Amino acid sequence: MSIFDNLNSEDFWVSIKEPAEQLFSDLIYQGTLWELVEQGRIICKTIMLSGYCFYSLNNDMETVGKMAILNWTTIEPFSESCESHTRFGFRLKRRSIFKDFYTENSEELDKWLDCLSKICIKNDIEDDYEFVKEIGKGGFADVRLAKEIESDEMFAIKGICKAKVMEFGKNFDPIVDEIQIMRSLNHPNIVKLHRVYESETHVYLVLDYLEGGNLLRRLKSKGFYSEELARKITLKLLEVLEYLHSKNIVHRDIKLENILLVSKSSDIEIKIIDFGLACESNGSLTMRCGSPGYLAPEILKLQPYNEKVDIYSTGIVLYTLLSGIHPFEGYSGDKKLSQNRNGRLFFDEHCWGHVSKAAINVINLLANPDPISRLNASEAQKIKWFQVLGSGVRVNVLQRTPPEIRSPLTRGKSLEKYKAQKIKASRRLFMSRESIEEDAKTAIVEVGENKSPERKRREVSSRTEVLPKSPSKGSKNRKKHLKILEELELADDVCKEKRRCKK
């Protein structure tokens, strides 16, 4: 049984009378089809495919006599061998009702299938795609990389398990809403839904494949984003939200994981994904949903909300990009939701010394806990901080501590790697007096705290003076100093971690 059956009317054709010229603005394809009707008769018709509907033109070719809505109709191609030739066609099916249409030849069939597959539901995914590997997994769905057999083009296919949805007592309305919303969207920074398939066990959504991965993964590798890059990403995100909100669509799950990068080489070319929680609304919403840490406070306070919840989430995204730290990092469960409900953000000097006051002001405007005074997407783009984009104005990006140490997103293996590199560098200090001075300066700059240039120079001088001049290999003096340096390096890292945690 199809999950889309209840969305279709029982009658296939509906009689109407409209001028055909009104349909040309949304015209997708027009051609001649032969419809199989009662008692095996075949009637030739001129059909216009416009929007989500089939329109049958009258004999005068100027007016429409019948219309069929194809939104949730299943399409199945077929071929029949006759005495002297082969006939090609397709079947449009809804519930127990179906209509067979014949095309002039196989080439014409391919044209109709190409257009109809973007509107209807198909059921032969294995005939069109070859699955390569799993690239993502969720509660009800998994995402697999697949190659289209005809073109060799790569796509990401989201497979939603019907049994798992029903097992958790859910209905299929969110899946229907996701498909309907994504089919209505056409924006360069929104992932495109190409086709929908349904089997007995799954519903499949064929989407763009973006090899750059999500923004959270990229942030982990970078530590944090400069103001210039973060500004470009946020501006694109606001442009997407302005587009969605103009169509009365609220995303409700804006977060780093739902922002994909188009390629591995670009840090700013993005596309928004996952419209599973999105909805169409002209007024207030009440359903409590979203991702903890990105939720607007009014959702957690069980208050009615609107599209501005997406703006709050955008502010949290910008906060995390610039600092490398999520504002509610370190909290879990109810404590995290409590901090999220409060909505207050903190900007300690340790993580925000390199960020301009203008950027911090933008975060506060976007992530304003008060939904009434919070800016909408259009107003946010007019903030002066976004206007300097492309003007050549550069911000102060002084890095006070390495991102591997400063950002909890990259702590762990990266921290251990950093320690190993520092110890290795310390051993090289004993090779020559020149390398001692050069590496010691680098070490002070990298792991030193917020100190003036004069103070740093004094520390470099004092550190290099206590080191021996080229101690011999294997000497006790060399081993002693190596041990001291290693302990100093590790102690320095540990102290910094403790200070960060206290803050």
Q: Which of 225-239, 282-296, 451-465 has the lowest mean pLDDT?
A: 451-465
pLDDT value of position 499: 55
Of 165, 190, 208, the last residue of a domain is: 208
Sign of CA dihedral 241, 247, 250, 256: negative
pLDDT value of position 91: 94
Residue for token pair 């102290």? 495
The predicted model gives 75-83 an average pLDDT of 89
**Within this chain, do residues 276 and 346 fall inside the same structural domain, yes or no?**
yes
> Is it the case that residue 288 has pLDDT exceeding 60?
yes
Q: Which domain holds residue 75?
A: 5-116
Q: Which residue has the higher pLDDT, 442 or 214?
A: 214
**Within this chain, do residues 10 and 43 fall inside the same structural domain, yes or no?**
yes
Which CATH number does the domain housing residue 150 bear?
3.30.200.20
The predicted model gives 211-219 an average pLDDT of 94
Which CATH number does the domain housing residue 63 bear?
2.30.29.30
Q: Which of 12-26, 104-118, 132-146, 213-227 has the lowest mean pLDDT?
A: 12-26
**Within this chain, do residues 384 and 434 fall inside the same structural domain, yes or no?**
no
**Within this chain, do residues 424 and 277 fall inside the same structural domain, yes or no?**
no
The predicted model gives 395-410 an average pLDDT of 41
Q: Is 158 annotated as a binding residue?
A: yes
pLDDT value of position 395: 41
pLDDT value of position 97: 86
Q: Which of 116-120, 292-296, 488-492 has the lowest mean pLDDT?
A: 488-492
The pLDDT confidence band at residue 156, using thresholds 50, 70 and 90, is very high
> Is it the case that residue 262 has pLDDT exceeding 80?
yes
pLDDT value of position 140: 86
* CA angle at 425 for the pair 495 and 464, rounded to the nearest 5°: 80
Q: Which residue has the higher pLDDT, 332 or 267?
A: 267
Q: Which residue has the higher pLDDT, 259 or 445?
A: 259
Percent of the chain clearing pLDDT 70 (strictly above) = 77
Q: Distance between CA atoms of 95 and 78, rounded to whole angstroms? A: 19
Per-residue tokens: 197: 């398939």
The pLDDT confidence band at residue 496, using thresholds 50, 70 and 90, is low
The helix/strand count (H/E) of the chain reads as: 18, 17
pLDDT value of position 448: 43
**Within this chain, do residues 233 and 88 fall inside the same structural domain, yes or no?**
no
pLDDT value of position 466: 41
Give the active site residues.
253
**Within this chain, do residues 228 and 367 fall inside the same structural domain, yes or no?**
yes
Q: Distance between CA atoms of 199 and 201, rounded to whole angstroms? A: 5
Most confident stretch, 23-27, 47-51, 281-285, 371-375? 371-375
Q: Which of 37-41, 119-123, 301-305 has the lowest mean pLDDT?
A: 37-41
> Is it the case that residue 468 has pLDDT exceeding 50?
no
Secondary structure in 3-state letters for 419-480: HHHHHHHHHHCCCCHHHHHHHHHHHHHHHCCCCCHHHHHHHHHHHHHCCCCCCCCCCHHHHH
The pLDDT confidence band at residue 40, using thresholds 50, 70 and 90, is confident
3-class DSSP assignment, residue 485: helix
Of 87, 116, 145, the last residue of a domain is: 116
Secondary structure in 3-state letters for 149-194: CCCCCEEEEEEEEHHHHHHCCCCCHHHHHHHHHHHCCCCCCECCEE
Q: Which residue has the higher pLDDT, 164 or 429?
A: 164
Total number of domains constituting the chain: 4
The predicted model gives 99-125 an average pLDDT of 93
**Within this chain, do residues 204 and 219 fall inside the same structural domain, yes or no?**
no
The predicted model gives 249-277 an average pLDDT of 95
> Is it the case that residue 10 has pLDDT exceeding 90?
no
> Is it the case that residue 125 has pLDDT exceeding 80?
yes
**Within this chain, do residues 186 and 139 fall inside the same structural domain, yes or no?**
yes
Please compute, for residue 70, the number of CA atoms within 13 A of its CA located in the half-sphere on the CB side: 22
**Within this chain, do residues 465 and 392 fall inside the same structural domain, yes or no?**
no
**Within this chain, do residues 244 and 371 fall inside the same structural domain, yes or no?**
yes
Contacts of 242 (CB under 8 A, 6+ apart): 376, 377, 378, 381
The pLDDT confidence band at residue 95, using thresholds 50, 70 and 90, is confident
The predicted model gives 125-133 an average pLDDT of 95
The string of pLDDT tens digits covering residues 384-393 is 999 875 444 4
The pTM of the whole model exceeds 0.85: no
**Within this chain, do residues 279 and 417 fall inside the same structural domain, yes or no?**
no
The pLDDT confidence band at residue 51, using thresholds 50, 70 and 90, is confident
The Cβ of residue 211 has, within 10 Å, a number of other Cβ atoms equal to 14
For the chain, the average pLDDT equals 81
pLDDT value of position 477: 56
> Is it the case that residue 179 has pLDDT exceeding 90?
yes
Chain centroid to CA 449: 36
pLDDT value of position 486: 54
The predicted model gives 266-276 an average pLDDT of 94
Residue 439 region, left (φ>0) first, then alpha (ψ -120 to 50), else beta? alpha
The pLDDT confidence band at residue 480, using thresholds 50, 70 and 90, is low
> Is it the case that residue 489 has pLDDT exceeding 60?
no
**Within this chain, do residues 381 and 430 fall inside the same structural domain, yes or no?**
no
Of 164, 179, 208, the last residue of a domain is: 208
3-class DSSP assignment, residue 242: helix
Which CATH number does the domain housing residue 253 bear?
1.10.510.10
